[in-house]
Each structure stands twice: as C-alpha cells, then as structure tokens.
Amino acid sequence: MSALIQDIRYAVRRLARTPLFTTAAVTILAVGIGANSGAFAVVDSVLFRPPPFERPEEVVSIYQDSDDGEPSSTSYPAYEDMAAMTGVFAGVAAVSPGVATWEAPDGPEQVSVIYATASYLPVLGLEPSRGRWFAPEHDEVGAGAFAVVTHRTWRTKMGADPELVGRTIRLNGQPVTVIGVGPESFNGARGALVADFWLSISSTVVGGSFRVANLDRRQDHWYDVQARLAPGVGVARARAAMDALARRLAEAYPELNRGREITVFA
C-alpha cells in the first residue's frame, strides 16, 4: 500500500506540471469509456489484472524525461547506465517496438515486432515455452538476426508448428532465425506494448541503419525500460539512485540532459 501511495504522489506531482494536458486526458478517457463499454475490457486488462510475470511487486518501469519535460522512453546508452547499477537492480531490460513485413505462407503481412535485450524475460522471471531466449551476445551489433515468436502468433498464425524453432523466416526481406517461442499467455509486459515477434538487439538488418544508430545516441529515446529491484532494495532507494543518475547525466551531457528527470514507477 505504501508503494501505491508513493506512486500516486509521484504521478500527481508530474501531472500537476501540465494541468491542461491532464484535464484533456481525463475528459477524453471519461467520454471514451462512457461511449463504449468495451473500452473497460481494455482498461481492465492493462491496469487492473495482475501482470503476467513473476513477483510483479519487484518490477519497476523507468522513464527519462522527453523534450517537453514529461516521462518518456529512454535512450539505449542511458539503459546501459541503469543496467550497470547492480547494487540497486537485480536486472534491467530494454524493449523498443516497431513494425515489419513478414513473408507469411499466405503472403506478405505487416506484423508487430519488439526489439528486446537478452535480459528482458529473465528480468520478468519468465522462460520461453519452446527453444530458448536471447543470449547476452545477441545484444551486440553483428551477432546476427534472431527472433522469438510470441506464443499467440505461433498458435494463431503458424499453426502451432512444433518444428518452427531453428527455421528461418523473412522480415523486411531479411533472413531471421527463429530460436524460440514465447511464454504462454504472455505477449508483452504492458498491455499497449505487445508483439508478434521479439527480435534481438542484434537484428539491425531488419530495422536498418536507424536501429544501429540509436544504440549509441543519447538523444534518441526509443526504449522502454523495466527493472527488477535487487533483494532488500525498495522503490524509494531506486528513485534516489535514478535521481543521482539524472544529475550525473546532466553534468556529463548538459545539452541533452540538463533539467531532465528519470522517473521510476512501481
């Protein structure tokens, strides 16, 4: 309960900085939910049902401020800074959504992909239902293109093919090796961020030069970060650590990070 109260206070403090946006957002939500009762199912699945991973009370989401001063996605170099803080986090993971054209058996199909670090499923305490997940070397450019198919896509679009692991598929015309099938009933840690395929960070051949460049650019905020707290570490300590990191980044890269906070949500 104390963590919930902390989150509410934190959110109110951030929303108070943009009252017009907050008012508009609340109005839109009220009208939308009132006009379509089906919207409740979406809200319920995203906000109220227990997250589909292990010990969710230990998992936090981390956001860097965007140019307008609001919590947003994180740069890959900043994610690496967070991942190095092993005294605070047992593990840190980063994911970045995208789209690709899959050369499906019935013809080309646009699919949702998520570029994910090798730490993603381990941070969530999950394992693939078939095959394996990405290894640390798959976070390196040049390691090749690898995919883990979500269980839903494997079942609904691939006929639950038991021989899929090890085969090559084509995404955006590029060969990608399937090394696993995701956990059952899990397509992403957040309701708004689901996938047909998870791709290794090394799968830059699918995303092109853009995916290579943003791995080194602190000004490119394309990654959502989640972390599992280290044993004995609470949310307050994680927030203090991220406040300290934000100050260090502001000193090291003032043009990019001055005045930007790093927000932790439990």
Q: 199 near 97, Cβ under 8 Å?
A: no
Q: For position 90, what pLDDT does the model report?
A: 98
User: Distance between CA 237 and CA 222 in Å, rounded?
Assistant: 25
Q: For position 191, what pLDDT does the model report?
A: 54
Q: For position 37, what pLDDT does the model report?
A: 37
- Each residue's pLDDT tens digit, 54-70: 899 999 999 999 877 78
Helices (H), the chain: 2-15, 19-35, 39-43, 76-83, 120-124, 151-156, 204-207, 209-213, 235-252, 254-257
Phi-psi region of 232 (alpha: psi -120 to 50; beta: other; left: phi over 0): left
Please state the domain extents for the chain: 1-49, 54-265
Q: For position 194, what pLDDT does the model report?
A: 79
Q: What is the pTM of this model?
A: 0.81
The rounded Cα 65 to chain-centroid distance in angstroms is 16
User: Distance between CA 36 and CA 243 in Å, rounded?
Assistant: 40
Q: For position 1, what pLDDT does the model report?
A: 45
Q: For position 68, what pLDDT does the model report?
A: 78
- Name the stretches of the chain with pLDDT < 50: 1-7, 9-10, 13-14, 16-48
3-state class of 119 per DSSP? Answer: coil
